A = this chain, B = another copy of it.
Amino acid sequence: MPATTTASRPAFRAGADVFHAIGDPTRRRLLDTLGRGERAVNELARPFAMSRPAISQHLRILRTAGLVTMRRAGRERHYRLRAARLRQVYDWVAHYEKFWTTGLNRLGEYLDREAQKDRQSIHKLKK
């Protein structure tokens, strides 16, 4: 048995997951704002109906996800978008683009039935 590691369980560790980070609407708004340029924390927090520490915590999640970087400027901390990290999201969802651009919902039904026929003929040979 290993001594220190594998204590009980890592459980989940949603550390640097970009998909998880953008799952929260507040964090998406923050990214949207940062898309228009660098911002200090107070500027970011102002439009929100929640405390400033709450925003700081959201910013930390965005930082650990690599979606923003921070730069100290006097007593302010300026956050900047690091949009390249969003590319994995773009790449993932772009796979599905064809489904709605080519009106594939109907065609998809046809493909579905074909695939199902194949699987049926493998499983058994009904009737």
Which A positions have Cβ atoms within 8 angstroms of B? 17, 19-20, 22-25, 28, 31-32, 35-38, 43, 78, 80-84, 86-87, 89-90, 92-97, 99-100, 104-105, 108-109, 111-116, 119
Contacts and interface: CB of A to CB of B under 8 A. Distances in A.
A100 B83 contact: yes
Nearest to A90: B93
8 tightest A-B CB contacts, nearest first = A23-B23, A83-B99, A37-B115, A38-B112, A83-B96, A90-B93, A37-B112, A84-B100
Please give the count of copies of this chain that the complex contains: 2
A60 B75 CA distance: 47
Nearest to A84: B100
A94 B83 contact: no
B28 A95 contact: no
A78 B109 CA distance: 12
A70 to B, nearest CB: 13
Contacts of A35: 95-96, 99
B86 A96 contact: yes
8 contacts: A19-B22, A32-B95, A37-B108, A38-B116, A80-B112, A81-B96, A84-B99, A86-B96
